Structure 1
Amino acid sequence: MGHDHQPAPRAPRRLRIILAAVLVPAFLATGIATALLWPGAVPKADEADPVPRFHATVTKVVSEACPPTPEGPADPGPCGTATVTLDSGPDKGQTRETELPTGPGAPSVGVGDAVIVTPLTSAEDPNATVYTIADHQRGSPLIWLVVAFGVAIVVFGRWRGLAALAGLAVSFGVLLLFVLPAILGGGPPLPVAVTGAALIMFVVLYLTHGISAQTSVAVLGTLASLVLAGAIGTLAISLTHLTGYGDENAITLSLLHGDVDLHGLLLAGIIIGSLGVLDDVTVTQAATVGELARANPSLSRRELYRGGTRVGRAHIASTVNTIVLAYAGASLPVLLLVVAGGRGVGEVLTTEFIAQEIVRSVVGTLGLIAAVPITTALAAFVATAAHRPVKRRTPRPPKPRTDRSEVLAALASDEEAR
């Protein structure tokens, strides 16, 4: 079995009291805010004539040349028919024939594929139902990918990897059970996001890294950086006049749930996104300073801060590029669409959608930059306090004891002399 880091020395009692005096009220405030903002009944959007979706399996595929269209040459394909066996729905167990899906983004199917079909009313016979292939079933492949993901983390990280998986489950639970329902229910997005982020931070960091002074330093650094990122994000959104209506998803959400504050939702997304990278930096900085102090207990607080900051600079340099590329990769289709419109670079960069991504990147990066000195300074203070040698009181040498018989003999000789 591999060796893990050596356990950090136990912090002095006075330092533990100071950390608890700061963190316990913050945790209690988070719990109270969670109870006050907990969502009630979430209103559901009105759905007009919803189309059901059923599972089916492709049993036969017949391909053929596509016929020419009135607009021009024949469609390059695929054309033909597919035979499917319905696995759910009112016609479960029956076999139906349907046309192969065509058009941009149409799924390519083969024999044995698990697909999603939707029932439609036949144009020739209003009493008959025809099925069309809408999509692939992705449940089983996704499950296997998640299982492989979990196994890899547990094999490499062992108990800490298992704790990381539990922390990931907690994060999703807070988002799905608290943050999203509360915002959909008309709650203020910013307080909800801050409360959800703080709840995730407290539970996940202590669950993953254990209850210690080092973890408490990471929690304090994350909390301070989140507050700073929220303030910077509020100012940036105000200066750039962002409304939150930057893409089709936001517009659709406003149509289905008019009570959602998209302006606040934009800032909430920035805070939630910042948390994902902030805890990585703060935990790394706290661990780095702790390892430096264990390797050389004679290092002063200033030397520990300088050494940890050098590591933090290298970490920030790589993380900034990661943040920008992550946002650009997620928005690549929209970027291509905007650039293909023939607009100038300045006009493209100042559109609301691109400006949102720029603000996200800038706010997240500034939060990361602030997290390094804050966490490193706290970690250096805690590490020097934990490694400081305990001053022991030197016991006084015992006073020489005088034999009582000698004293009595001296007194007797004095009496005789008189």
Structure 2
Amino acid sequence: MGHGHSHRAAGDIDDQVQVGGPARTSLMVGLGLAAVATVVGLVVWWPSGDASDVESAQFAAEGVTFPTGEVREVGEPCPVQEAPPEGCGLVSVEVDDRRVDVQVPPEVFAAGLSPGDPVELQKVPGEGGAPTYSYFATDRDGTLLWLVLLFLVVVLAIARWRGLFALVGLTFGAAVVWWFLLPALLEGSSGVGVALTGASAIMFVVLYMTHGLSLRTSTALAGTLVGVAITGVLGVVAVADARLTGISDDAGGLLRAYGNGLDFPSLLGCALVIAGLGVLNDVTITQASAVWELRAASPGASRLEVYAGAMRIGRDHIASTIYTIVFAYVGTALLVLMLLSIYDRSIVDLRSTEQLAEEIVRTLVTSIGLVLAVPVTTALGVLIASPSRVTTPPGTPLSRDPA
């Protein structure tokens, strides 16, 4: 995958960097062992489909269907904090060649429900009579479809082949989560073990597919795997030390009702690993590329000089990525934070509650794994991208901007 050619005036960056033989061998042996461990984990924890610690849950009673209808007329919404007057909150929907009036929650009205909107109703068959209908959800397939198409067009138009490969890698990652990770967790397998195996499998495929087969990509992969391992180990320690239950919302409580045998703290450890996977991959590939670019620009520079230059880039990336992690949490937990802010106790006083402490641990654990992956990846890259025998002329500055 790597090349030992000396610096050339033109060509791909991977061909312009001289590679050290022993370091390359060590890297490939390490990745080979990680690949073997991943395969073993897949075999050991692959869901059998025969046994599960979670009872099968039926979404609706037998005979209940969910037809889609079209809103024809919208009535007056019911007030949220007052006794609702009779007849408010009704929407007339045409479904199954008939018109029915269904009660709709006030928040649905507030979202702008209007005539012509498709809605999904719950149809319960009547005993010897007409079926009854109730509001279930607003049909949002149209919006989701144009957003997906716009996303695909934007990615392919700007990133081109790299974007296409990234989309294929994303599809593979989703398949690993759906067909391996989730069923394995439902069968009671080790949460962190399954997370490390699934994350490793995803990264092996995604990184090489998106960024190509090269020692630069291999270096980023090695740094990513180290960061994933740090996140997993630290997550287990932090969850146990904080005595977190892993159940902080209604979804966790509902899942516990169906699966008493599940280890929810272990599931939280799994969530910590998966949560930091994407951003971890981002910083490691950036650091590996920074090392290669700096080495190509200054083939005679010492390893220490290249390391210092790449870490200057890495520190900027760390700062911006930490902002990304924190504000991503704020965005997803905005309603929870708003609720906490109106209590007669400050958020600082509520920091040890399950809901808030879990997110603090999630943010700090993933951030620590992310930050430590930067110097690790940089060091690996510096060891592999060795100095050229041609020395850099005296007084030649090392490029600070590999772009």
Q: What TM-score do the two structures reach when normalised by structure 1?
A: 0.82
Which residues in structure 2 correspond to 1:178-197 (within 5 Å)? Answer: 178-197=180-199
- Counterpart in the other structure of 1:137: 139
Which one of the candidate residues 49, 66, 69 is aligned to 1:54? 66
* 2:13–2:293 CA contact under 8 A, matched in 1: no
- Counterpart in the other structure of 2:205: 203
* 2:45–2:194 CA contact under 8 A, matched in 1: yes
Matched, 1:98 2:101: yes
In structure 2, give the amino acid aligned to 1:266: L
In structure 1, give the amino acid aligned to 2:40: I
Cα 1:345/1:112, change in 2 over 3 Å: closer
* 2:71–2:91 CA contact under 8 A, matched in 1: no
- Counterpart in the other structure of 1:384: 386
- Is the partner of 1:384 in helix, strand or coil? coil
* 1:58–1:110 CA contact under 8 A, matched in 2: no
**Alignment RMSD:** 2.7
- Counterpart in the other structure of 2:401: none
- Is the partner of 1:348 in helix, strand or coil? coil
Matched, 1:45 2:56: yes
Number of equivalent positions? 374
Matched, 1:30 2:38: yes
Which one of the candidate residues 260, 266, 271 is aligned to 1:264? 266
Cα 1:327/1:65, change in 2 over 3 Å: closer
- Counterpart in the other structure of 2:95: 85
Matched, 1:113 2:117: yes
* 2:118–2:138 CA contact under 8 A, matched in 1: yes
Distance in 2, Cα, partners of 1:332 & 1:225 = 28
* 2:199–2:274 CA contact under 8 A, matched in 1: yes
Cα 1:281/1:97, change in 2 over 3 Å: same
Alpha-carbon shift at residue 16 of structure 1 (Å): 3.7
Q: Deviations over 1:122-149 (max 9, x none)?
A: 7xx8722122232111223212211211
Q: What TM-score do the two structures reach when normalised by structure 2?
A: 0.85
Distance in 2, Cα, partners of 1:73 & 1:263 = 42
Alpha-carbon shift at residue 241 of structure 1 (Å): 1.5
Stretches (4+) displaced over 6 A: none
The structure with higher relative contact order (CA 8 Å, sep 6+) is 2
* 1:96–1:131 CA contact under 8 A, matched in 2: no
Distance in 1, Cα, partners of 2:285 & 2:58 = 45
- Counterpart in the other structure of 2:364: 362
- Is the partner of 1:54 in helix, strand or coil? coil
Which residues in structure 2 correspond to 1:9-408 (within 5 Å)? Answer: 9=15, 11=19, 14-41=22-49, 42=52, 44-47=55-58, 50=61, 52-58=64-70, 60-61=72-73, 63=75, 74=85, 79-86=89-96, 94-105=97-108, 108-120=112-124, 127-384=129-386, 387-388=388-389
Alpha-carbon shift at residue 13 of structure 1 (Å): 5.2
* 2:192–2:267 CA contact under 8 A, matched in 1: yes
- Is the partner of 1:8 in helix, strand or coil? helix
- Is the partner of 2:12 in helix, strand or coil? coil
Q: Deviations over 1:185-207 (max 9, x none)?
A: 22121111111111111111111
**142-151 or 370-379: bigger deviation:** 142-151
Q: Deviations over 1:72-123 (max 9, x none)?
A: 5748x9645413133xxxxxxx22321352434456533322210112467x
* 1:57–1:114 CA contact under 8 A, matched in 2: yes
Unpaired runs of 5+ residues, structure 2, are: 1-9, 392-403
* 1:339–1:348 CA contact under 8 A, matched in 2: no
Alpha-carbon shift at residue 245 of structure 1 (Å): 2.1
Cα 1:143/1:388, change in 2 over 3 Å: farther
Question: Percent identity over the alignment?
Answer: 37
Of structures 1 and 2, the larger Rg is shown by: 1
Which one of the candidate residues 6, 27, 35 is aligned to 2:12? 6
Cα 1:196/1:216, change in 2 over 3 Å: same
Cα 1:62/1:359, change in 2 over 3 Å: closer
Distance in 2, Cα, partners of 1:359 & 1:282 = 22
* 2:185–2:194 CA contact under 8 A, matched in 1: yes
